Chains A and B, each alone.
Chain A
Amino acid sequence: MSTVLILFCVLSAITLSTAFLTIFSKNPIHSAIYLVICFFSIAGHYLLLNAQFLAIVHIIVYSGAIMILFLFTIMLMNLNEQREVYRPRITRLGAIVSFCLICLVLITIFINSKPIVGEYTSTGEDYQSIKVLGKILLNEYMVPFEFASILLLVAMIGTVLLSKKEKLEK
């Protein structure tokens, strides 16, 4: 077992357990914290795969922006575990059953599939440095890149639309 594999296993364990904890925590703030840890471990995976730039961006966007947004909202609403309503047992049971089922189904399929035999190709070329990514993003993927801006614009307008008080509203 190589160090890389051990590293992978450890990271995976952290990822999965924190993901579970996110869900099981009664307190939303705890959930958020666990989620941040989860994100960090995923960033670790990225690093493991040598995608440094992506790892950084990931931390900045998720942990830095999205999670802050979450925490901000949680705080704004002053949520704590007492607010969590009683969940009927049948709901939980259904959730657990379907979780098991979907896991089982997907994993079985992938196990059943033909295993990848032989060496993984390695071109040796640089394909994931900032430079390469930037080139691809702004050449080949220029249109989606621009289009993503439209997406963000729409989200922005929408958020404003949803939050802004109208003059006519009293």
Chain B
Amino acid sequence: MNTLIAIIGLGVLCLLFEIFNLRKAIVPITIIGLLGVLGLTISEFNSAESYYNNMIVVSKFSTTFSSLFIVLTIFLVALGHNFYENHQSKISDFIAIKVFLLAGAVAMVSFGNLAMFFLGIEVLSISLYILAASDRMNLKSNEAGMKYFLMGSFASGIILFGICLIYGAMGSFDVSEISALSQSAELPIWFPIGIVLLTIGMLFKVAAVPFHFWAPDVYEGSPALTTALMSTLAKVVAMATLYKLLSVMNADISESYKMVVVVISMASMTVGNIMALRQTNVKRMLAFSGVSHAGFMLMTLLSFSTSAGSLLYYASAYSLSGIAAFSVILYVCKNRNNEDITNFHGLGKTNPLLAAILTAALLSMAGIPIFAGFFAKLVLFNQTIQAGYLALVIVAVVNSIISVGYYFKLILAMYTKEPNEERKGTPVVIYAVAVVAIVLNLVLGLFPSLVLDLLA
């Protein structure tokens, strides 16, 4: 609860800074503030409690995921320093929206009432619509915003319908009450339908097949930093929320429901990976890669009781490597109209450090050992096999192989092609973010227990 209040306070503070004309200080202050919030959140780790009529429930799950979100937001805000250089007059708005978005995200993982959940997801979504369309003179950005908005509000409608049906079945929005009631034998069919509709709405948010179509288009059209946000923070938030929704409501996950999850998971991996193969736009490629990672993360839904830790680990691994990759993309594609793969030609020669970081990030996503991505996949496979879905794991393995194809396309472009032009300037912040993110990823890879055991 304190986290949420603090974040909102920080968001308002950002707006005030604009009024006091302290634009230069916004990014550092926000980062410091977020670090403070991070400390606050971590301090709540062991004090599970519920606040305000069970509206907000602080648990280990919520604190750990909130911390992850905060860390990601810190990176994203820091990257904003360079990204919004030319938009000084709006920088406070951008930063504030991001902070509010974080508030929505935190609400989504710590809700105790479906109202909080719904408002949280709406805050998040609306912030994203705005950020996607924020490059207002750019038609691509407009288009991305429009597509995202239309499809997102459509999905919101479905989520709302789901909530409504759950309410109809249970007569309450409180998840603990719902959880208690869901044990009773006489459940109206509204409840499972509500759960399914809710799930579908969330599957849209995590961009799982067949609800993924928005993702590549929106990722490509949005400003690069927004893409970074969507592909890391937003995806992780949505996934964590879906997990939490299903677990806290104690929804009776039937076998057929699991079948659906398995099929969607397989489809997401396969479609995501195969479609990514022929992409030339890096953001678009990472969008499809994100689709496939969503498929991987969906595997956690098959073994609720134990998989919270692995979801957290996968989410951290994926989002940290995503941040690292996007910081390099931001650097490379700055002042370019597109994020075409040709921009990366010869990066290995002109900027070996960033090239190495991007390589490491991609290797992590591909699941090559010692990077966290490997262990993430490992624990997932482990749990899924334990749950008895060997076929799914084999599909996942095949997909891991396919994924190497396009991740390496980028690596090859960096190391085998000749650079086409000089890049100037060494933006310290981008370097710092990239290095810290990849180092965190490596640390997670070397000491997976740090995270895995948190929610065990």
Contact = CB atoms under 8 A, between A and B. Distances in A.
A and B in contact, CB less than 8 Å: yes
Contacts of A142: 52, 55
A157 B96 CA distance: 9
Contacts of A110: 189
Contacts of A168: 86-89
Contacts of A75: none
Contacts of B190: 113
A147 B123 contact: yes
A142 B56 CA distance: 11
Counting chain B CB atoms within 10 Å of each CB, which of A144, A163, A168 scores highest? Answer: A144
Contact of B119 (A151, A153, A160): A151
Q: Size class of B's contact patch?
A: 35 or more
Nearest to B165: A110
- Ranked nearest first, the 9 interchain pairs of A and B with the lowest CB-CB distance are A158-B130, A113-B189, A143-B55, A144-B115, A143-B52, A161-B93, A140-B53, A147-B119, A154-B100
Interface in B126-170: 126-127, 129-130, 133-134, 136-137, 145
Interface in B96-119: 96-97, 100-101, 103-104, 107, 113, 115-116, 119
A151 B123 contact: yes
Contacts of B56: 143
B188 A147 contact: no
B130 A162 contact: yes
Contact of B97 (A141, A147, A161): A161
B423 interface: no
Interface of B: 8, 11, 15, 51-53, 55-56, 86-90, 93-94, 96-97, 100-101, 103-104, 107, 113, 115-116, 119-120, 122-123, 126-127, 129-130, 133-134, 136-137, 145, 188-190, 193
Contacts, number: 90
B225 to A, nearest CB: 14
Nearest to B131: A158
B126 A155 contact: yes
B279 to A, nearest CB: 26
A140 B119 CA distance: 15
29 contacts: A109-B189, A110-B189, A113-B189, A114-B188, A140-B53, A140-B55, A141-B115, A142-B52, A143-B52, A143-B116, A148-B119, A150-B123, A151-B122, A151-B126, A153-B100, A154-B123, A154-B126, A157-B96, A157-B100, A158-B97, A158-B130, A160-B93, A161-B130, A162-B130, A162-B134, A162-B136, A164-B90, A166-B90, A168-B87
A89 interface: no
A92 interface: no
A126 interface: no
Nearest to B145: A162
Interface in A106-120: 109-110, 112-114, 116
A168 B91 CA distance: 13
A87 interface: no
Nearest to B14: A157
Interface residues of A, number: 30
A151 B103 CA distance: 10
A157 B15 contact: yes
A162 B133 contact: yes
A139 B120 CA distance: 19
A163 to B, nearest CB: 8
A168 B129 CA distance: 23
Nearest to B119: A147
Interface in A87-127: 109-110, 112-114, 116
B15 A144 contact: no
B133 A147 contact: no
A116 B126 CA distance: 38
B117 to A, nearest CB: 9
A158 B8 CA distance: 16
